[in-house]
Structure 1
Amino acid sequence: MLYTDHFPPVIPEPLRGVLTTRLPIDSDVDAVARLVEADKRRCNPAATVGREGLRSRLVGPRSWSRRQVVVVAANADGSPAEGADPVGWVALEDRAAGRVNLVWVLPETLPHRDALAASLSAWADAVAGAFARHRKVDASVINDGCNALDEDRKRLMTKAGYMKVRTWLDMERPVTAEEATTTPGPRDGVSLDVSWGW
């Protein structure tokens, strides 16, 4: 049985009976990884997505602090088509009081993509609001982690009513297994957050 969220996103009219949403399941991992990789490669051709890290976010222990749905093909009655691979994904993580992380991917080839993005953004707002109420704060910053080169994502976020309120430098570099024993540890007072890597 596929469980459904208690308030799923509203599918815009042109896509009702064509697409729907449901909660992610284990068999979605590879399809979502391909979607995320393709999306990231629009700005970084070498981008990769670790399947096990993604599995943890979709259906494993790291999914427990997230509200998320995958977008899939629908049957005529609007129910999810059995065995259909996801064609989109949106996830929100209750990161901290006043901070929600948003991850989403909708390929540019999806029909009525702007309308679908607006609908999923409205759902994201509702989820972020629920997180804020639970945390007893009046508002939350929704961090979408947008690549500075991603004009398409900026366009969709702006169209949905979002605005940039903060930016920070995100640095990455490849590492080798030997570095676990050859690299000095951080100086006193410095900590590393390696939890967000794909």
Structure 2
Amino acid sequence: MDAAPALPEDWTSSSPDASDVADLLDLLRRHERTARGWPSASRAAVETDVCGRGAATRRHLLLRDGSGVARGWATVHDRAAARVVIAVVVDPDLDAASADDVAAYLFEWAREQAADLGRERGVELTQMDSGAFADDPRQQLWLTGRGFLRMRSWWQMSRPVTPEEGNEDAFPPPGEGVIVRLVAREGDAMPDEEDLRTVHDILETSFTDHFNSHQESFDEFVARLREDPGHRWDHWWIAELERDGMTPLPVGALVGSVSPGTDGEPDGSYVEYLGVLAAARGRGVARSLLHAVIADAARRGRDRVGLEVDADSPTGATALYEAVGFATKYVTQSWHRDLPVA
């Protein structure tokens, strides 16, 4: 299953750098246009992964044909202990036989890198986590052939935002006893560390009953989110419950980011994480956090808020998102393979 064909003699393989970013972006956008229907990849995101903040935790392989055209690109992201995220992009303009060979070569390289990272982490088994658009049978066929199993579907949802939603009275106030605030921060300095740890703790705890939850240290969590070119500290919120004579109790958190517009579109906001402790669910905490990020997007002149949700979410989150105005724009899939490292 893991044998890979040799590349044509005039093809080259390399670890890409800044000089390859433009070609990688073109390749990725060609893939997105064919597999989903439209491109959305940004130069900033590719730069971050290849030669920016995200490069330290990622390994890349770029394949070029004899004419120097970028035809394939694989990325292996050391996401957490015993988990790597695999991305394989193959030029949709290749003929079917050549595309199959390129995919096999890249997936085998990714397997080798995943095993190497697992050994560095000192684990015996690591999870290779990859994905595909729901309407991309070619990628799904390759994943199946390399031993991956389709595990989950994810709704990629979006909600339009109007300028009026930035007004103070655009949304009802938070539920009784619920306080929503930004993480504490002075000027352009780092936010209060206690608040950041609160966000991390809430998300770690609230996601324990979610699919494929992996424990992530505080330092790894903050470092990973800061790699994102859309990262902004003033997009992090905490929800608290008032208590008589006591300090309010943190029970919810939302981490947002900037979603850059493409092809002349305005920017949007994106919900990276939204978590509410089980004991506080049903009190309007999640809805209040969503209202906060929508209102913030409106005040910033943005036209949408996006998020991803497990189609089989155990918390019933999909119903809440639809009630707040989100609709599914497209669907992606998670594919996993457990890889013995020894």
Normalising by structure 1, we get a TM-score of 0.74
C-alpha displacement of 1:63: 1.0
8 Å contact from structure 1 (residues 11, 20) kept in 2: no
Residue pairs, 1:11-160, within 5 angstroms: 12-13=5-6, 15-74=7-66, 84-110=68-94, 112-160=98-146
Rounded to whole Å, the distance in 1 between the matches of 2:39 and 2:87 is: 16
Structure showing greater Rg = 2
Question: For each residue in 1:36-89, what CA deviation from the matched residue of structure 2 results, as whole angstroms up to 9, or x when unmatched?
Answer: 111112243233111012111112221111111110135xxxxxx8xx342211
8 Å contact from structure 2 (residues 36, 135) kept in 1: no
1:192 and 2:259 matched: no
- 1:16 counterpart SS class: coil
Rounded to whole Å, the distance in 2 between the matches of 1:178 and 1:18 is: 58
User: Going by fraction, where is strand more abundant, 1 or 2?
Assistant: 2
8 Å contact from structure 1 (residues 98, 140) kept in 2: yes
- Of all paired residues, the percent bearing the same amino acid is 27
- 1:146 counterpart SS class: strand
The residue identity in structure 1 corresponding to 2:85 is: N
Question: For each residue in 1:18-48, what CA deviation from the matched residue of structure 2 results, as whole angstroms up to 9, or x when unmatched?
Answer: 2121010212111111111111122432331
Tell me: CA distance 1:97–1:153, structure 2 relative to 1, closer, same or farther (3 Å): same
Rounded to whole Å, the distance in 2 between the matches of 1:34 and 1:177 is: 34
Long gaps (5+) in structure 2: 172-179, 181-236, 240-250, 262-342
8 Å contact from structure 1 (residues 72, 88) kept in 2: yes
Rounded to whole Å, the distance in 1 between the matches of 2:260 and 2:131 is: 12
8 Å contact from structure 1 (residues 28, 85) kept in 2: no
Rounded to whole Å, the distance in 1 between the matches of 2:82 and 2:259 is: 18
Rounded to whole Å, the distance in 1 between the matches of 2:72 and 2:55 is: 17
Partner in structure 1 of residue 246 of structure 2: none
Rounded to whole Å, the distance in 2 between the matches of 1:32 and 1:177 is: 36
RMSD (CA atoms): 3.4
The residue identity in structure 2 corresponding to 1:144 is: S
Rounded to whole Å, the distance in 2 between the matches of 1:173 and 1:24 is: 36
Rounded to whole Å, the distance in 2 between the matches of 1:160 and 1:189 is: 39
C-alpha displacement of 1:172: 4.8
Long gaps (5+) in structure 1: 1-9, 75-80
- 1:144 counterpart SS class: strand
Range with greater deviation from structure 2 (63-72 or 143-152): 143-152
8 Å contact from structure 1 (residues 88, 105) kept in 2: yes
